[in-house]
Amino acid sequence: MAGAALLGRLSWRVATVTRVVDETPRVRTLELELPGWPGHVAGQHVDVRLTAEDGYRAERAYSLGSAPGEPPVITVERLEDGEVSPYLTEDVRLGDSFEVRGPIGGYFVWRPNDGGPLFLAAGGSGVVPMRAILRHRRNTMSEVRVRLLYSSRTIEDVIYREELDGEEVVHTLTRAQPPGWTGYARRVDTDLLREVAWSVDDGPLAFICGPTSFVESVAAGLVELGYAPRRIKTERFGATGGP
């Protein structure tokens, strides 16, 4: 009975790092082993809590980058003045442990029955929950059409670059572009959205994730194009210095 009563409760658990992947010079993916992990929905996140020797604690939220059914994975961008991300991107080693609580969230989530077509817009590490959605769509052989608009500073900052090559992705590189770049090279604006986003007539469902300013401008642009506000899901990371 005690076990049943605990089901559904959200408690801090000790996660062990079972895999480390360097995505870019500033971004690292950590696969976690979490005993008793109940499984998650694409788009959900976890809270990570670090405790210093003097007892000082810092908590941050990180989106899950793996699909439901896969081991939980977080992808972390190092913020220079961060309290948590420098540890997760530089110091942590295979087999290290820290506290995690989750999965969390019921708003910024996608299940195949939610339909589409899906228009995903990501700024920087806002691509992490989008990968969960893209993978989940593939794993379930969903026929929902999906297109990702992904804004990065430079080509070197593109996270999950190889994996995304297999998806319908429109990149824009806002700070520098490699020689011969033929893609977009500016911040997302309404004209860009008009060219890239699904037509309103298709009844699209939009997910936007990234720095607050990115999310605000994309959401406003989609509303201007006629997207129904209720069909636009947003998740803001705050200021991260880019893209």
Partner 1 sequence: MEALDGNAIGGILYHVFDREMTMAQAECVCGARGPLAECEVYLGGPGVVVRCRVCHSIVIVLVEVRQMMCVDICGLNKLEVPLRASDQKVSW
Maximum pairwise Cα distance, the chain: 64
Least distance to partner 1, CB of residue 106, Å: 4
Q: Which is nearer to partner 1, 184 or 214 (CB)?
A: 214
Q: Which is nearer to partner 1, 48 or 148 (CB)?
A: 48
Cα(146)–Cα(168) distance, rounded to whole angstroms? Answer: 7
Closest CA to 118 of 39, 216, 225, 227: 227
Q: Which is nearer to partner 1, 98 or 184 (CB)?
A: 98
Count CB-CB contacts under 10 A for residue 60.
18
Residue 208 has φ and ψ, to the nearest 5°, of -125, 130
Q: List interacting residues with partner 1 (CB under 8 A).
A: 8-10, 45-47, 59, 61, 101-102, 104-108, 211-213, 234-239
Q: Which is nearer to partner 1, 98 or 237 (CB)?
A: 237
Least distance to partner 1, CB of residue 61, Å: 6
Least distance to partner 1, CB of residue 237, Å: 7
| 66 Cβ contact list (under 8 Å, min separation 6) | 31, 72, 73, 131, 132, 135
Least distance to partner 1, CB of residue 135, Å: 20
Q: Which is nearer to partner 1, 184 or 207 (CB)?
A: 207
Least distance to partner 1, CB of residue 167, Å: 23
Cα(164)–Cα(169) distance, rounded to whole angstroms? Answer: 7
| 201 Cβ contact list (under 8 Å, min separation 6) | none
